[in-house]
Structure formats: structure tokens, C-alpha cells
Amino acid sequence: MNIYHYTDLNAVHSILDTHKIRMTDIRFLNDKTEFLKGIEILRDASEDIFSGEEDYSPGFIAAVTMWLPKIFEELENFQYPDEVLYVASFSRSEDTLSQWRSYGMFAVGLNEDILFDELHFNKIDYIECHYVIDPGDAIEIAENLLHEKALQVLNQRWLEDDPTNQNPMLSIDLKEIISLLATTFKHACFSEEEEIRIVKRADPEAEAIKFRAKNNLLIPFFELELSPEVFTSIRIGPLDNQKLVEHTLDIYVAHRQAKLMSQEINVEYQMVVESSEIPYRTL
């Protein structure tokens, strides 16, 4: 199955030439507002998170109850630079007008299975988004995520006898998990995007972090290098002269394939160039 990265033609060219996807510091994306909304939902869900629960150690419950207020306060304020998240977005929807209008008139298709394996190898999280239609449902989803992805996992690592004081370190892991879960909540109006996010935690001072200029800001980003066979198709949005655009991309794809073969890179697929079925209209 394919997933799609909507963007412009310059980015398509760069991605397919370098096999790299940019992951941007979430603090410099519109997603920051959604991240904070996710934190709010998770905070509300955590208020009675242990109510009626009998599977957790009493000591663990007491510690987590003490940790959570500080964790949420720190995440809301992006206090610690070691908690910076780098994000890239993809969609299961291959031909959506709102995506074309918002992100660009081209999309790169990626093989989801191969991508997932490479993300796992690079310790990058692969996250399905949840769309907040009903606040009550969102809190229920958040409660389930907190139990399944955080509390049950950390409770198994809790030491009843802790002579070396290892238990407090679990608060760091809890904070990291909550920060990841917060990126999964989106407003219901974006539900047709069927978004998937990949998320990397990194020190902003790491050598791998690069910067690009935009609107008088230097935006930090991380380049994720993938194998050529991850990329399977190019989809063209509802453009004028769509057939001509398709022809030029066919030429580029043939050139790319020959280049990969000359480098003895074993790419056993033929990249597909296809066009949107949405009709082009001028205003």
C-alpha cells in the first residue's frame, strides 16, 4: 500500500534525487497549535487515569500522579530543548482537493511497508492521527493510549525494591511518550487527509540538524535518508497542461532509473507517474 507526501515540484525533484525527506522542528509548524491541543486532551484524560484500575503498583500510581502535572506544564511551554520533536506528514488519501490546495500540486508515493521497516531501523516513530470530532470520544481515545502506550509499559519496569533509585528515571520516559501521543490529535475538519506522521526526537544541537530560511526565521530540520525503493510514484494534481507535465516527469523518471542502475543500486520497480482525476478549473 502507498502513502503520499504532498508538496511542490521542487521538493519532488529534491526528494527523488537525494532520497531524503525533511522532518521539521514542530515548534516552527502550524502543528504546534495541534500539539498543544493534544497535550490538553491528554492532560484531561490523565485526571482520573487510575480510577478503578487494579493492575498498577500502588507506588507506581503515587509516583505517576506526582509526575504528571510537571510533565504537562513542561510540554506546554516547550521548556527543555532535549524534548524537540521533528515531524514529517504523509496521507493515505491519494487525490484530495484540499491537499492539493494546501500543500502543493504534486505528491510523492511511498511504499508503506518498506518505509515502516526503515523507520523502525532508524528508531523513528510512525503514528496514525486521531481526529477530534467529539471531545468525550477524544478523551476516551487519549485514556486508552495512555494506558496502552505509556502506563502499562512503564508499570512493568517499576521496581518495588529500588536501592539504586532507578524508578524516577521512568518520568523521563513518560514525558517522551506523552509528547509523541500529543502529535496524534488533529481537528476533525482535516479528517479527509487521513494523516500519518513520522516523529523523531533529537537534541537541537546535534550535528545532523540543518536550517533553512523562511519568513525571516531559520527553521531547524532533520533530513531522513531512505532507500530508493521506498519511493514508488509521482502524482500530479489538477494542473493546466497536465499531459505535458506528465510527459516531462516520465522523462525524469527514466533518467533517474538509468542513474540508479549505473550506480548498481538494485531497484526492481518502475516508478509510476499518474495524474489527478480532479478536473482543472481556472478562477
pLDDT in the model for residue 267: 66
Element (H, E) at 23: strand 20-25
Distance CA 193, CA 92 (A): 7
Count Cα atoms within 13 angstroms, Cβ side, for 196.
18
Q: Where are the alpha helices (DSSP H) in the chain?
A: 9-18, 31-46, 58-76, 97-103, 112-121, 135-145, 152-157, 170-182, 242-262
Distance CA 221, CA 101 (A): 24
**pTM, full prediction:** 0.86
pLDDT in the model for residue 35: 86
pLDDT in the model for residue 52: 86
> Chain-centre distance of CA 147, in angstroms?
21
What is each CA distance from 29 to 87, 89, 107, 196, in whole angstroms? 9, 11, 19, 16
Burial of 267 (0-12, 13-18, 19+ CB in 10 A): middle
pLDDT in the model for residue 263: 82
pLDDT in the model for residue 116: 95
Distance CA 230, CA 117 (A): 10
Q: What is the 3-state secondary structure (H, E, C) of 87-122?
A: EEEEECCCCCHHHHHHHCCEEEEEEHHHHHHHHHHC
pLDDT in the model for residue 31: 67
Q: Which residues of the chain have pLDDT under 50?
A: 81, 283
Count Cα atoms within 13 angstroms, Cβ side, for 91.
23
Distance CA 175, CA 85 (A): 12
pLDDT in the model for residue 207: 85
pLDDT in the model for residue 34: 82
